[in-house]
Structure 1
Amino acid sequence: MSIDRAIAAEAAALRAHYVQTVLPIWRGPGFNSASQLPYEAVGADDHTPLPVTRYRAMACARQLFVFSQAGEAAHAEQLFHAMRRYFHDRQRGGWFYSVDAQGAPLDTTKDLYTHAFVIFACAHYAAATGDRDALDVIGDTASLVQARFAAHDGLLHAALEADFSVPRSGPLQNPLMHLTEAYLAAYETTGEPGYESTLAQLTQAVARNFVHTPTGAIAELPIGSADNRLEPGHQFEWFYLVKRAGPVVLGSGLMDDLTRAFDFAQRYGIDPQTGGVCAALDETGAVKDATQRIWAQTEYLRALATRGRAEDLETLALQIPRFQARFLHPRGWYECLSPAGEVARADMPSTTPYHLATAYAALPI
């Protein structure tokens, strides 16, 4: 069997588990049919929802993406309307971070990560259904982000007070990465050229402020910050996004940086025995956090498929069954493992199917 056919067969097994095991959780016990919101997490053994202390807009948006991509328009429509009903701040604009168990605003922080996922999810929902209201949400939210979250040097604050008056957090890598992902999706759905220029400006700002020059890796905090960290999973995630954006972000130089960052993350961040991707490295490549989170494993799969050299495909053919054996099980998945394979987090969050879906979509058919 050729390596392409072997990878396609392995990928088919991952997709079958996703369709037969993962999606039914979030249509059924993981979904509160009364509020039409996904629970934050369910138990690994019986899928019982964990006690409700909050519902997050980001979690609802990720589920909206998942079911839009899966072609389940009716369920996606419920999630779209619930997201707008509970999390949209009609008085001040933007989106609340979370609501409480009764659906009342809980954390009213204006969080860039949340706003990015609203744009991203609505872009996929609009592409799948043609919903005009979703297109309006994309445009309104993107305009608000650029106007209200602006910081210095083309960057954006990670979090603001509810009325946008005072920053709670300065620029951070992760929200900026997901905003890049969101603007890519918005451009692909709407075709509006403004997203191209915004993407170019955003990635240039990231390159100026977050790239660790010796390795090319994109740090979690602006370069020069105390106790900074380099996450292998985010190098793989950025590699995919910048590769996909192509000429739009060429001027940033990130493709060259991330080619080096890919090699750095692969050399120092992957357990050679198990293929497990660690959570974080320091700037020398020493392991800073050895926890193996499932999302980082999926980003490694997607990045290998995206780079697609012969040696990447050989690694991918080995890595998929390793991932399947370590992180998937008949009732779902393990969210976090220790390097020795001990379960570090047993419950299953509603946010993780997004990572599975995006990774599996990049694998050969």
Structure 2
Amino acid sequence: MRFRHDWLPQWLARVGDPVGGGVFDALDAQGRPDPLADKTVLTQARMLFTLAHLAMLTEDNATLVQAAARQYGVLARYRKGNGLYCRALTHAGQPTGRVADGLARSYDQSFVLLALATWARLSPSAVLDREIADCLAAIDRHLTDPATGLLIEDDGVSDPAAPDAPLRSQNPHMHLYEAYLQAHEMACGETGIDWLARAADLRALALRHFFDAQSGSIREWVAPDLSQAPGDAGLRREPGHQYEWAWLLNREADFSGDGRLRGIAAKLCAFADRHGIATDGPLAGAALDAITPAGAVLENNLLLWPQTEAIKAFAIRHSAGEAAMARARRRFSSSCANAGSRAGFGATSLRRTPRFFGPRR
């Protein structure tokens, strides 16, 4: 109740742009937005999803629905005309002039699809169905490697297997999987797409290339030729993503009845529980940023988003009757609340070191 009627209105007033529309991408340590900073499609899409999702959870939702409608209008500015959405625009909604900002990233497109599918549940229309279908077709046509079926980084990559191509990342696959599951739950059936089948196919493909069965963990990166990525990139495991994948696998299992997915989710959680939790200091019990398959710490810091994913996974495990999950969830929640309060309104990191880290992709 406090979140809905106290914190949320204050936060929306803080992040909303009354002049340019949409929301500001970031706040500084004092919670002040930079009104001249560029705005990314990632932030605008995430906000549309957030507003639409909150509106469905709230009885008194007229204000949230109106805000989501305005946000949907802002998202349209980023369309490239081929079903894709560019990375960033100026604060006034114009092209930045930088090549990278004109590209469409597979990571961003997954959130556009997530947002559109959720908004379609609140405001269904034939126009929105076409936008969803166009976005999906563009991902297939422009952001999928025809040789492997894996997503490529962006529509500027001509040869995803070239030695100098970007590393293959699990992250856009995970979020597109999430978008497919969301579209299934939102019953976007008017598009004639079997969203659950798409989710199952993408999940199987992603796990084939990114799941490390020996350690029971998800790799963050593999090389362009699908071999192990060099250096720390090949060793990197993010506890937050282990919990996030587990949450999504359990979600698919709920929809499909495939109990085998819960076994993989349990392995991911066991790895993160064993190696990815801070064991000392005032934030003991919180999820670390990055570790190796053997449990060595790569980044001794604690961003806020991994804590969110851990709490979601703990909640599911508690609901399934797993012992000690209620206590673990309370411990996480307490660490996040206490550290977040100390760090400030706009904080994205629970600081264990003097450095301040912004949100990771």
Fold agreement, TM-score > 0.5: yes
The aligned residue for residue 32 of structure 1 is 17
Q: Of residues 111, 114, 117 in structure 2, which corresponds to 1:123?
A: 117
Query: Structure 1 residues 279-288 or 102-111, which shifts more?
Result: 102-111
Secondary structure of the residue aligned to 1:42 is: coil
- Structure 1's 50 and 252: CA in aligned 2 closer, same or farther, altered over 3 A? farther
- Structure 1's 95 and 53: CA in aligned 2 closer, same or farther, altered over 3 A? same
Q: Of residues 94, 101, 118 in structure 1, which corresponds to 2:91?
A: 101
Query: What amino acid maps onto 2:148 in structure 1?
Result: D
* Matching of residues 235-246 of structure 1 within 5 Å: 235-246=242-253
Deviations 1:290-336 (A, max 9, x none): 11000001111000001221221221133222221122469635311
- Measured in 1, the distance between the counterparts of 2:139 and 2:292 equals 31
CA displacement at 1:337 relative to structure 2: 2.5
The aligned residue for residue 172 of structure 2 is 175
Deviations 1:247-299 (A, max 9, x none): 77788965433311211111111113422211101121111111100000111
The aligned residue for residue 151 of structure 2 is 156
* Matching of residues 310-329 of structure 1 within 5 Å: 310-328=323-341
Query: What amino acid maps onto 1:52 in structure 2?
Result: L
The aligned residue for residue 280 of structure 1 is 290
- Measured in 2, the distance between the counterparts of 1:157 and 1:252 equals 30
Query: What amino acid maps onto 1:133 in structure 2?
Result: V
CA displacement at 1:125 relative to structure 2: 1.1
The aligned residue for residue 7 of structure 1 is none
8 Å contact kept, 2:241–2:306: yes
- Percent identical across equivalent pairs? 24
Secondary structure of the residue aligned to 2:14 is: coil
- Measured in 2, the distance between the counterparts of 1:128 and 1:113 equals 24
Q: Of residues 75, 79, 96 in structure 2, which corresponds to 1:88?
A: 79
Q: Structure 2: give runs of 5+ residues left out of the alignment.
A: 56-63
The aligned residue for residue 268 of structure 1 is 275
Secondary structure of the residue aligned to 2:168 is: coil
- Measured in 2, the distance between the counterparts of 1:185 and 1:207 equals 19
Q: TM-score, normalised by structure 1?
A: 0.82
Q: Does 1:138 align with 2:138?
A: no
- Measured in 2, the distance between the counterparts of 1:76 and 1:283 equals 41
8 Å contact kept, 1:204–1:252: no
Q: TM-score, normalised by structure 2?
A: 0.82
- Structure 1's 216 and 60: CA in aligned 2 closer, same or farther, altered over 3 A? same
- Measured in 1, the distance between the counterparts of 2:286 and 2:339 equals 9
Q: Of residues 108, 115, 119 in structure 2, which corresponds to 1:114?
A: 108
CA displacement at 1:56 relative to structure 2: 0.3
The aligned residue for residue 297 of structure 1 is 307
The aligned residue for residue 45 of structure 2 is 61
8 Å contact kept, 1:94–1:110: yes
Query: What amino acid maps onto 2:127 in structure 1?
Result: D
Bigger relative CO (Cα 8 Å, ≥ 6 apart): 1
- Structure 1's 263 and 19: CA in aligned 2 closer, same or farther, altered over 3 A? farther
Query: What amino acid maps onto 2:15 in structure 1?
Result: G
Secondary structure of the residue aligned to 2:356 is: strand
8 Å contact kept, 2:105–2:153: yes
Deviations 1:36-61 (A, max 9, x none): 1211112343x321253311001001
Query: What amino acid maps onto 1:35 in structure 2?
Result: G
8 Å contact kept, 1:207–1:252: no
- Structure 1's 128 and 195: CA in aligned 2 closer, same or farther, altered over 3 A? same
- Measured in 2, the distance between the counterparts of 1:272 and 1:332 equals 26
8 Å contact kept, 2:181–2:252: yes
Query: What amino acid maps onto 2:51 in structure 1?
Result: F
Q: Does 1:307 align with 2:317?
A: yes
CA displacement at 1:136 relative to structure 2: 2.4
Deviations 1:121-174 (A, max 9, x none): 11111112334433322221112112222213331112122xx75656353111
How many pairs are equivalent? 328
The aligned residue for residue 50 of structure 1 is 34
Query: What amino acid maps onto 2:135 in structure 1?
Result: T
- Structure 1's 58 and 128: CA in aligned 2 closer, same or farther, altered over 3 A? same
- Structure 1's 75 and 166: CA in aligned 2 closer, same or farther, altered over 3 A? farther
- Structure 1's 343 and 333: CA in aligned 2 closer, same or farther, altered over 3 A? farther
8 Å contact kept, 1:97–1:109: yes
- Structure 1's 231 and 18: CA in aligned 2 closer, same or farther, altered over 3 A? farther
The aligned residue for residue 6 of structure 2 is 20
- Measured in 1, the distance between the counterparts of 2:88 and 2:199 equals 27
Q: Structure 1: give runs of 5+ residues left out of the alignment.
A: 1-14, 353-365
- Measured in 1, the distance between the counterparts of 2:341 and 2:129 equals 35
